[in-house]
Structure 1
Amino acid sequence: MKRQHYLTALFFLFHLGAFSQTILSGKVLDEKNQPLPGVNIYIKGSYDGATSDVDGSFEFETEEEGSQTIIYQLMGFKTQEFAIDCDSSPISLQNVSLREMITDMNAVTISAGAMQASDASKAVVLKPLDIVTTPSAMGDIIGAFQTLPGTSTVGNDGRLFVRGGDASEVGIYIDGLRVGNAYGSTAGNFPTRTRFNPNLFKGTFFSTGGYSAEYGQALSSALALNSKDISPRSQGDLSLLSLGGGYSHTLSSDKQSITLTGNFFDLGPYQNLVKQNIDWERGPHSWDLEMASQKKLADGSLLKVMARTESGGMKLWQKQPGKEGRGVFIDLDNRYTFAQTNWKKAYENGWTLFSGISYSNNKDDIFYDSVNLQKNSKLIHAKFTGIKDFSDRISANSGIEYIQNDYSEGIVEANLERDYTDHQFYGFTEWDFYLSKKLVFRTGLRGGNSSLNQETWVDPRASFAYQVSENGQISLAGGTFSQVPTENFRALTPELKNVKSKHLILNYLYGANGRTLRAEAFYKSYDNLVTFDGSPMAPEKPINEGKGFAKGIDLFYRESRLIKNTDFWVTYSFVDSKRQFDQYSTKVQPAFAPRHNFSVVAKHGFQKLQSQLGMSFSMNDGYAYTDPNQSGEMNSKTRSFQNLSLSWSYLPKPNLIIHFAVSNVLGRENVFGYQYAQTPNASGVYESLPSGQAAPRFLLLGVFLTLSKDKTANNLNNL
């Protein structure tokens, strides 16, 4: 019996040796050498493992033998693997440090100078829908951005003015490609609009300064419009407006879509009904045809094609100060063509490649009194970029570009013409370094060369962002920016050098629970600004001798949860800008740069009434101008600008929208400056006429009907 127990014990001892175990232990830390609890540690291909304790330590046993792989894994951190040798002896592993994984969702973003209208960014300021529902915008992209900090409203111009800079200092891009003459041609202090429909775009990036090295030829700001990808459905959209109408038809499948659009506008009938401050002979009118196509290719890349052609014009009489009669007759006829195509593909090895080319052609035929002026501007932009994600912490965006600019202007009767062709070459590189998910640093260089002025330049730029709290971050951005002079100056003096600016921006951004707060301080200096003799209508001897600066603060607050069904934002900007430019011999406050700018936009939804009421109010402290009856330059200022606008949107059926909007509800007589006579009258006084609004108010009524298999689809689905 004893012999039997002895043999049994030997049997169990034999099996214990056959299934010997290895004990593994260690400790897991984070990048700051602090204990990291909750980490899963296990042997690859087995069920043997453990979870680290509060102090980061762990211990477990494994029956695996020989060469094995141990894995450390925790959500939000980069997984690490190590080779070990299990030989039944206890293994004390060295302390392992896990690095946080940086993703678009958890990483801090650089917000200095940058505002976005997109659902793809967590730092969103405006959404695409905001562009068409802001009452004062009347569906214009620029009109919506004029309610954001850093911008100035110049009501008789309509273009975008940013932080003491004029409208030519804002570069406009579609899918990264430059758009020439993005605004419609106009005359006689009648405000213009952007040419492109907001429905074409899925998002908008707007920088008030310190923008990426990918963009150039803009001293103040970059406005990048990103076109839509493949449409989700086939549908037709009919628009009937008090100013005209249009129809858009989309054909869509899983891998491709195409949208064809035609519009016609004529303000003549409307202007006959509503009192106008302009003496119209023929109101503004235009037609346009547009095509946008997207196709997913067999290799997974996306190809986009966009084309637009339009024609328009206006005829008016411009009264002259100190003179009787209707004044000078102006007849403007404009033809415009834009086309672009681009290709983009993301590869599994971390590369994303982009290539594209755009073409813009603008022709203006102007009769000013008895003089026939003709202007023609062509712009070709070709671009190739490559983005490489070397890891979740380092990425680079680099590219090369070519721009050809052809410009001509002439007086037909005198058979006079001046023109030029400029070939510009660019290269840029920009690197993002995520030192942690709370700290990112970006540095970049952009270089260029112009064949016309035989100048080569390099612009360094840098920025960083640091997350100071769960929902708050600070950003700092700075750099230099170069831009060739405007076309009319270059045609007169081709050897003009680049105008330059330097930006420094400090930003604080808070965003959480439907609330956004932005506070930004900025300083911008100007060098090589163009000055000339004579008047803006007939400049003489332009040279690069001007200088200037702009400094100030911007505040922005947006709230969507404080009041039920109400979304609103409030903006305030202070801009102290002085510059010697154009015909001015001293540094002056520009007419387009009011010091104090304020706006508020609010939208409230009435769910039972299937309606939305919108309100926007904008004001500034007035515009500087020169009164020749007093000494000095820019010696006077208009009274404050104020504009209260309202809108009402109603959905009687899911596929039908009725929209009504009215600007300047109170009928305030806003004045943006004064036009003075060239010579004094018999009393020695220079007589003047105010430059004001085209009309006391502007009213818009629109009916939008969508036809599709999905009876709930409407125009809002396009935004």
Structure 2
Amino acid sequence: MQTFIISKILLLLSLLMGIFLHAQVTVSGKVNFKGKGVKDISVTLKNTYDGATTDENGNFTFPTEEKGSQILVFSNAKFVEVEKPITIANENLSINSDLKEQISEIDAVVISAGSIEASDKKRATALLTPIDIYTTAGANGQISSALETLPGVQKIGETEGLFVRGGTGTETKFFMDGNLVNNFFGNSIPGIKSMDRLNTSLFKGNVFSSGGYSAAYGQALSSVLILESIDFPERNSVDLAISPLFINAGFQNVNEEKSKSFGISAGYSNLGLVTKLIKFNNDFTKAPESFGTNFNFRIKNKNGGILKYYGSFDTNKIGLQAESLEANIDFDNTNLKGKNTFHNLSFKKKFGQYLLNLGSSYTYNSSFIALSNTFEDEEINPNTIDITGNYLNTKGTLGRKINKISAVRAGIEYNQSNEKTDVSAAPTPSEFKDQITSLFAETDLGFSNNLSAKIGVRSEYSNAIDRWNLAPRFAMAYRISKTWTSSLAYGIFYQNPENKYFGSNPLNYQKAEHYVLQVQKSAEGRSFRLEAFYKNYKDLIKTTVLDYRPVAINNTGNGFAKGFEIFWRDKKSIKDIDYWISYSFLDSKRNFQNYDQSLFPSFAAKHTLSVVAKKFVTSWKTGFNLSYSYASGRPYYNFQTDANGDYYLNKQGRLKDFGALNFSLNYLPNLGKKDSKSFTVLVLAVNNILGQKNIYGYNFSTDGLRSKPVLPSASTFIFIGAFINFGIDKTQDAIDGNL
């Protein structure tokens, strides 16, 4: 009886299994992308649980009991979702599908040849955010000094400017919210390097391009630094900074909706006390002294448009006495009085698919220099140089998105310069006026997530030169693998000769062609870049001296610069340590200005190396920062003039290698209650802590028979200061940013 029951159950199960198997249908097929099978594609019947995932060859198979009209869905975040209508009867189905790549702003390859970007959108690989700049030992919180730790930028200590890839300091231009910043550096005298005028804390991000930059920017033969100011402060705050060098104070006010804000700050600095505590190589008759103030406001309208304004005013004084190289003169005396005001206004608003950017900047700069000599305690040969300039820049850009990763933009830019130079020894003052009108257009073409291009063109007309130029630009990027990308950039770049060189001789634009090739690997916490470049210079100016000032004779100069650069940044390999290493090799020659032949530029080094390391000890609330800079010895030259007034090379040599080890310490004490909105940083910084004796060049007597070295203002410089903010507690941000 028991056997009979079991046999009946088995028979019933067999009948049920037969019915079930007969009801099931197998759906199978293959999923391809560009003719190859793709794995990890989800294949499902819409609104059911039936489906499968493709294997390494793109094949899939799954059973289903569904019948009739169905939708088969092929999905993966990297591809456009595909829906195919199918009809399921009693027979197995074979369905194949071809996929298209999903275009994504996040996944799309970015053109990065010649540029390094740091912004809120680029946090994973960002370089030189404000925290980076403040915590780079030796940078003293200066944007330009921190950039000298990056590939391609020379370590120049005797004059201001960014000297990039064999270019002079004037070949780099600076922009704030898209507008040109004239006189980015403070007024100075020869041999004394001035500081940045714009405070690092004004900006939320930057793009530094050392070659092949966008058609939206011009009048720069070598590079551009594009700074983007913060939109709105986090909340109301008061800032205070105190040190033996300076005192600064300011406040920011923002409404709850973050639609309006304004702020004011002022600062005073005087190196008088420091010159008594630290040994300086300069003999100051008037220690560097300055006063500055600035004001800003921001307004956001209901439609998302934002208006930003920044204005500043500063004055500075400096007096210097140096032993003279000339016969019958004991000392050379130089006194400077400088004034500057800068105003920057920008407006940005989206209109559907369109983005409008409007902006304008204005600069007034005055530099009054009094020169004299001392012989047997009597002042002789008094002379003055009074230079004043007014500079206006306006710019408008309209862009439109074509799809997620493609766009087109065009714009117009206008620059006006008016400079007057009055040399007391010259018979009459010289005045220079110029108006430059520029038109530009550019398109970003995203062919896929792995391939993109940027094509642009810029044209400029200068009244002083009285002709148009045409400068095409091209760049492309290709993703080699998941972590490796490559970029290529090419462009023609024009720049007027400096205003001070214009005279009665007709001049042309100076020209440079850039070729830049880059490969980059980016992974979590690590970034590697290898970049090769070639720059070809044409129509550089040749100069002489007329009425006590240099003027250009013609544009017959030329030159080249080529080399390669390596950059490595690592936040992951060594616990709690962030470091980067940059190395640059440069081969360059120029025949320009007063050079009588093609020579390696005196402002460039063949080999440069920078190592920056940072560690924050959370339990101590203290950050320890080190940096080391090395540059092979730069050449130096002395040119004299013959009876015809032509220059010839009288003497040349090579400086010893430059090296400096810098250290800084940042301590974050608790201030007030634990939940108080305040932030304090105590800073100790020592530049060139080992006291290495560096030389920046040589000054020569008029006859070229005597010389003396150009030295840093101080071989070793020590800074102590406190920075306090009431209203915003940035302690954790500082720790997270490796302060």
What is the TM-score with the length of structure 2 in the denominator?
0.86
Aligned pair partner of 1:133 in 135, 148, 152: 135
**In the superposition, relative to structure 1, how do residues 382 and 466 fare at CA in structure 2: closer, same or farther (>3 Å)?**
same
| 1:609-620 matches, cutoff 5 A | 609-620=620-631
How far did 1:193 drift?
A: 1.6
AA aligned to 1:374 is: D
* Residue 16 of structure 2: aligned partner: none
Partner of 1:693, secondary structure, is coil
Contact 2:79–2:100 (CA under 8 A) maintained in structure 1: yes
Range 25-34 or range 350-359, more displaced? 25-34
CA displacement 1:89-126 (0-9 Å, x = unmatched): 99999965332223332121112111123342244233
Partner of 1:554, secondary structure, is strand
CA displacement 1:526-559 (0-9 Å, x = unmatched): 0000111249973245210100001111111112
**In the superposition, relative to structure 1, how do residues 551 and 123 fare at CA in structure 2: closer, same or farther (>3 Å)?**
same
Aligned pair partner of 2:605 in 594, 610, 633: 594
Aligned pair partner of 1:194 in 170, 179, 196: 196
Partner of 2:102, secondary structure, is coil
What is the TM-score with the length of structure 1 in the denominator?
0.88
How far did 1:35 drift?
A: 4.5
Partner of 1:647, secondary structure, is strand
How far did 1:628 drift?
A: 6.5
**In the superposition, relative to structure 1, how do residues 419 and 536 fare at CA in structure 2: closer, same or farther (>3 Å)?**
closer
Contact 1:380–1:403 (CA under 8 A) maintained in structure 2: yes
CA distance in 2: counterparts of 1:142 and 1:468, whole angstroms: 33
Contact 1:286–1:313 (CA under 8 A) maintained in structure 2: yes
CA distance in 2: counterparts of 1:536 and 1:699, whole angstroms: 42
CA displacement 1:458-496 (0-9 Å, x = unmatched): 111111122222211121111111111111012x24731
Contact 1:357–1:382 (CA under 8 A) maintained in structure 2: yes
**In the superposition, relative to structure 1, how do residues 506 and 712 fare at CA in structure 2: closer, same or farther (>3 Å)?**
closer
Contact 1:588–1:633 (CA under 8 A) maintained in structure 2: no
How far did 1:524 drift?
A: 0.6
CA distance in 2: counterparts of 1:328 and 1:94, whole angstroms: 89
* Residue 285 of structure 1: aligned partner: 289
Specify every segment of 5 or more residues in structure 2 that has no aligned partner in the other structure, as ranges.
1-24, 373-381, 641-647, 672-678
How far did 1:63 drift?
A: 8.3
**In the superposition, relative to structure 1, how do residues 181 and 646 fare at CA in structure 2: closer, same or farther (>3 Å)?**
same
CA displacement 1:261-291 (0-9 Å, x = unmatched): 1111111221122222112111111111112
1:543 equivalenced with 2:554 (yes/no): yes
Contact 1:37–1:56 (CA under 8 A) maintained in structure 2: no
* Residue 146 of structure 1: aligned partner: 148
* Residue 667 of structure 2: aligned partner: 650
| 1:333-344 matches, cutoff 5 A | 333-344=337-348
1:453 equivalenced with 2:465 (yes/no): yes
* Residue 639 of structure 1: aligned partner: 656
1:677 equivalenced with 2:701 (yes/no): yes
Contact 1:28–1:39 (CA under 8 A) maintained in structure 2: no
Contact 2:66–2:88 (CA under 8 A) maintained in structure 1: no
CA displacement 1:563-588 (0-9 Å, x = unmatched): 22211111111111100011112111
CA distance in 2: counterparts of 1:599 and 1:624, whole angstroms: 20
| 1:155-234 matches, cutoff 5 A | 155-234=157-236
* Residue 327 of structure 1: aligned partner: 331
Identity of aligned residues (%): 30
* Residue 104 of structure 1: aligned partner: 105
Specify every segment of 5 or more residues in structure 1 that has no aligned partner in the other structure, as ranges.
1-21, 681-685
Partner of 1:135, secondary structure, is coil
Aligned pair partner of 2:355 in 339, 352, 358: 352
CA distance in 2: counterparts of 1:76 and 1:457, whole angstroms: 43
| 1:521-560 matches, cutoff 5 A | 521-534=532-545, 538-560=549-571
* Residue 518 of structure 1: aligned partner: 529
Contact 1:535–1:583 (CA under 8 A) maintained in structure 2: no
1:249 equivalenced with 2:251 (yes/no): yes
1:665 equivalenced with 2:684 (yes/no): no
1:497 equivalenced with 2:508 (yes/no): yes
CA distance in 1: counterparts of 2:88 and 2:630, whole angstroms: 79
AA aligned to 1:144 is: A
Contact 2:500–2:551 (CA under 8 A) maintained in structure 1: no
How far did 1:36 drift?
A: 6.2
**In the superposition, relative to structure 1, how do residues 153 and 87 fare at CA in structure 2: closer, same or farther (>3 Å)?**
closer
AA aligned to 1:277 is: N
CA distance in 1: counterparts of 2:668 and 2:589, whole angstroms: 48
Aligned pair partner of 2:266 in 255, 262, 268: 262
**In the superposition, relative to structure 1, how do residues 170 and 628 fare at CA in structure 2: closer, same or farther (>3 Å)?**
closer
CA distance in 1: counterparts of 2:734 and 2:451, whole angstroms: 40
| 1:13-52 matches, cutoff 5 A | 28-32=31-35, 34-35=37-38, 38-39=41-42
CA distance in 1: counterparts of 2:367 and 2:532, whole angstroms: 40
* Residue 15 of structure 1: aligned partner: none
Partner of 2:501, secondary structure, is helix
Contact 1:140–1:193 (CA under 8 A) maintained in structure 2: yes
AA aligned to 1:126 is: L
| 1:45-64 matches, cutoff 5 A | 53-54=54-55, 55=58
CA distance in 2: counterparts of 1:374 and 1:457, whole angstroms: 33
* Residue 567 of structure 1: aligned partner: 578
* Residue 508 of structure 1: aligned partner: 519
AA aligned to 1:641 is: F
Contact 2:471–2:492 (CA under 8 A) maintained in structure 1: yes
**In the superposition, relative to structure 1, how do residues 532 and 413 fare at CA in structure 2: closer, same or farther (>3 Å)?**
closer
CA distance in 2: counterparts of 1:181 and 1:716, whole angstroms: 34
* Residue 691 of structure 1: aligned partner: 710
CA distance in 2: counterparts of 1:213 and 1:635, whole angstroms: 39
AA aligned to 2:406 is: I
* Residue 4 of structure 2: aligned partner: none
How far did 1:394 drift?
A: 2.4
* Residue 305 of structure 1: aligned partner: 309
How far did 1:643 drift?
A: 1.2
Q: Aligned-pair RMSD on alpha carbons?
A: 3.1
**In the superposition, relative to structure 1, how do residues 100 and 123 fare at CA in structure 2: closer, same or farther (>3 Å)?**
farther
**In the superposition, relative to structure 1, how do residues 536 and 524 fare at CA in structure 2: closer, same or farther (>3 Å)?**
farther
CA distance in 1: counterparts of 2:730 and 2:387, whole angstroms: 48
**In the superposition, relative to structure 1, how do residues 32 and 640 fare at CA in structure 2: closer, same or farther (>3 Å)?**
same
* Residue 10 of structure 1: aligned partner: none
**In the superposition, relative to structure 1, how do residues 600 and 85 fare at CA in structure 2: closer, same or farther (>3 Å)?**
closer
Aligned residues between the structures = 688
Partner of 1:416, secondary structure, is coil
Range 366-375 or range 160-169, more displaced? 366-375
CA distance in 2: counterparts of 1:334 and 1:672, whole angstroms: 25
AA aligned to 2:414 is: Y
**In the superposition, relative to structure 1, how do residues 540 and 407 fare at CA in structure 2: closer, same or farther (>3 Å)?**
closer
CA distance in 1: counterparts of 2:250 and 2:135, whole angstroms: 20
CA distance in 2: counterparts of 1:717 and 1:707, whole angstroms: 20
1:391 equivalenced with 2:403 (yes/no): yes
Contact 1:534–1:583 (CA under 8 A) maintained in structure 2: no
CA displacement 1:350-408 (0-9 Å, x = unmatched): 32221111112211112122222111222211111122221134222322211112222
1:439 equivalenced with 2:451 (yes/no): yes
Aligned pair partner of 2:365 in 362, 365, 373: 362
Q: Which runs of structure 1 show a deviation greater than 6 angstroms over 4 or more consecutive aligned residues?
A: 22-27, 46-49, 57-65, 68-71, 84-94, 713-719
